[in-house]
Amino acid sequence: MDIEQLKADEIAKLSIEESFSLESLINEGEDALLPVSIEFPKRDGTIVLASALIKPLTSVEYDNAVRLGMNKRTDNILAIEILKRGLFTTDGNNFPIELIEKIPAGVAMKLVEKIHAVSGISINEDENEKLMETLVGF
């Protein structure tokens, strides 16, 4: 037998054995809370690591965040809408909106990037521009 064929067969076998049911992954992922650490600037100018939990956003959650964020027409409002849905305290509770609104802008954007990543959303500028054009309609 051909070595290349054996190699292809082995790769195919591994791929099948390592695949998971899409349904089970969706159900598991909807409620998954993942730990993150992020650099946070303190008043005295030092930077410390802060921890929180994030979750992947579903298509509906992300669509609602974008729709609400676009209605207010600022990136900061969009970030807040995403954080309201995807950021949790270390004990698993929704992060209070009062605190989300006080997060430094750069920290908020880093958290949004992390939520995008675990949600499978590209943070590529060109792709985001195309997405926004599609959502806005021009």
pLDDT digits (tens, 9 = 90+) for 91-108: 999 999 999 999 999 999
In a domain, 5, yes or no: no
In a domain, 100, yes or no: yes
In a domain, 4, yes or no: no
Q: What are the pLDDT digits (tens) for 6-38?
A: 777 776 666 555 566 666 666 666 678 999 999
In a domain, 101, yes or no: yes
For the chain, what is the domain count?
A: 1
Give the integer Cα–Cα distance in Å for 53 and 108.
13
Residue 110's CATH number: 3.30.2220
Enumerate long-range contacts of 118-124, CB under 8 Å, 24 or more apart: 118/34, 118/54, 118/55, 118/56, 119/56, 119/57, 119/62, 119/86, 120/56, 121/57, 121/62
Q: Which domain holds residue 82?
A: 33-136
In a domain, 6, yes or no: no
In a domain, 1, yes or no: no
pTM for this prediction: 0.70
